[in-house]
Amino acid sequence: MTVGARVGIIGSAGRMGQALADAITAAGHDVSGGIDQGGDPLALAQASDVLVDFSAPAALEFNLDAAIHAGIPIVVGTTGLAERHHWLVDAAAVSVPVLQTGNTSLGVTLLAHLVREAATRLGEDWDIEIVETHHRMKVDAPSGTALLLGEAAAAGRGVRLAEERVAGRDGVTGARLAGTIGFAALRGGTVAGDHTVHFLADNERIALSHLAENRAIFARGAVRAAQWLIGKEPGRYSMPEVLGL
């Protein structure tokens, strides 16, 4: 993305939207505009070289349609997506470049790479548990980042996360089943996002962690992704590709 590229922000009034505006300007680009609920994504897309979406799952279809009609790339950082939303992303990627991720942090992207490597090399006698902490206002759990890390672990083992995922243990749950991937979510305070993937075996443990101190890291990563995405062929892309992993 050349200096002065026009970046449109979907979800501009939120905390991420404000951080994005600062990151776009700091990188030498222009904020072409911003919209929120009730705004016109097509008008924003037509005034932009790339869109960055941190809004809500319910708005994703309209935002993807806007990118398609304007013929521009879109970075989707919205979390809480269901299977239907991924179908929509796949469909949009036939026409325009789409980068969808549960976390735009470059550090988390590298962490996911390390998690996959560890899961590939360690056997099923190593249990995998993912613990995440976020601010009290977060509405979805597990976080998109925790699921991204879970997918990385599952890919390393050659299994589907949907079949091995265990979340929300409560009461008499019985012994832990071998090969499962556990999730725990903590909420409170103003935590931007902490994630730890635990690999636990008999008499030894490995913990791989990422601690987010400020939302600016997600904004900087999103701008990096938008910069990388401009000029790409239509398709579905990911943050590891931005880092060449």
Beta carbons within 8 Å of 214's beta carbon, 6+ residues apart: 192
| Number of residues written out for the chain | 245
| Active-site residue flag, 29 | no
Q: Is 143 exposed, middle or buried (0-12, 13-18, 19+ CB in 10 A)?
A: buried
Query: Does residue 134 carry a catalytic annotation?
Result: yes
* CA angle, 134 then 241 then 226, to 5°: 70
Among candidate residues 29, 134, 195, 210, the one labeled active-site is 134
User: Omega of the bond prior to 240 within 30 degrees of 0, cis?
Assistant: no
DSSP-derived secondary structure letter, 40: -
165-167 and 127-134 beta bridge pairing:
unpaired
Cα 73 from chain centroid? 17
Active-site entry in 69, 113, 135, 138: 138
Written as one string, the DSSP assignment of 46-111 is HT-SEEEE-S-GGGHHHHHHHHHHHT--EEE---S--HHHHHHHHHHTTTSEEEE-S---HHHHHH
Tokens of 43: 């008008």
Catalytic positions: 134, 138
